[in-house]
Amino acid sequence: MVKLVALYRTPEDTAAFDEHYFSIHAPIVKRWPGLLKLEVSRITGAPIGEPKHHLMAEMYFQDETAMQNALRSPDGKAAARDVMEFAGSLVSMFFAEVKGDQ
Amino acid sequence: MVKLVALYRTPEDTAAFDEHYFSIHAPIVKRWPGLLKLEVSRITGAPIGEPKHHLMAEMYFQDETAMQNALRSPDGKAAARDVMEFAGSLVSMFFAEVKGDQ
């Protein structure tokens, strides 16, 4: 299993961010073909210091091919456009291979 | 459900890092009381540019109390000491509330 991880730094207006994320962005992501799971986590603190991030979204797929197909799909492109508009300066993304319960 | 997330920046020697993480660090974490799941992911790339990170570990618990109890347990303290020794300059950690499949 693989996943796309999106980490959002804390925005100036977290309420406006959440409103856009949950009512506009997440519904587009949930339409991605081959998406097995969307796990969204709200960052609440850190063991040391203040966390820099507000939200983490993890999009799970069976394999690399399924993930790339989702990103190239119309809803993949729509989500990319949307994220750049509402959180382009806040988001960092990476691909990961889930090694499971080690 | 809540989780502790540890993000490790790419070390100079990834093979030595993996050897320590999987053979020494993860076994300590797996002894934490109340740990529901340890999900380890190897970071493989990024949609834009090169990823800065090598590994992400996510430790899941029922709630905040269970997570804090685990961190204060002998194996919680042993894991903290170990991570500071082998990856103190590489790791960043945060707590998160899992909002589930949105």
Q: Which residues in chain A belong to E strands, given as ranges? A: 2-9, 37-45, 53-61, 91-101
ipTM of the complex: 0.94
Of B30, B94, B102, the CB nearest to A26: B102
Nearest to A9 by CA among A60, A56, A59: A56
Q: How far is B86 from chain A (nearest CA, A)?
A: 17
Q: Across residues B24-52, what is the average pLDDT?
A: 96
In this prediction, residue A42 has a pLDDT band, given cuts at 50, 70 and 90, of very high
Render pLDDT for A72-85 as a digit per residue (tens, 0 to 9).
Answer: 999 999 999 999 99
* For residue A35, pLDDT beyond 70: yes
At residue B46, what is the residue type?
A
Q: Per-residue pLDDT averaged across A82-100, rounded?
A: 94
- CB atoms under 10 Å from CB of A94, counted, come to 23
CB-closest option in A42, A56, A102 to B38:
A102
Q: Are A72 and A57 in contact (CB under 8 A)?
A: no
Q: How many residues does chain A have?
A: 102
Class (C level, CATH) for A2-97: alpha beta
- The reported pLDDT for the residue numbered B101 is 61
**CB proximity B94 to A under 8 Å:** yes
Residues of chain A with C-beta less than 8 angstroms from the C-beta of B39: 98, 100-101
Q: Using a pLDDT cut of 70, give the percent of chain B over it.
A: 97
Question: A24 CB near a chain B CB, below 8 Å?
Answer: no
* pLDDT of res. B68: 97
Calpha distance B91→B93 (Å, rounded): 7
Sign of CA dihedral A81, A87, A88, A93: negative
pLDDT digits (tens, 9 = 90+) for B57-100: 999 999 999 999 999 999 999 999 999 999 999 999 999 999 86
pTM for this one?
0.95
Whether A48 has a pLDDT exceeding 90, the answer reads no
Residues of A in contact with B22 (CB under 8 A): 102
Cα–Cα distance, A56 to B58 (Å, whole number): 12
Which residues, including other chains, have CB under 8 Å from residue B84's CB and lie 6 or more apart?
none
Is A8 in contact with A56 (CB distance < 8 Å)?
Answer: yes
- d(CA A8, CA A5) in angstroms, rounded, equals 10
pLDDT band at B49 (very low <50, low <70, confident <90, very high): confident
CB contact under 8 A, B41 and A93: no
User: Would you kindly state where each structural domain of chain B is located, as residue ranges?
Assistant: 2-97
d(CA A87, CA B99) in angstroms, rounded, equals 20
Q: SS3 of B68, please?
A: helix
pLDDT at B32 (0 to 100) = 98
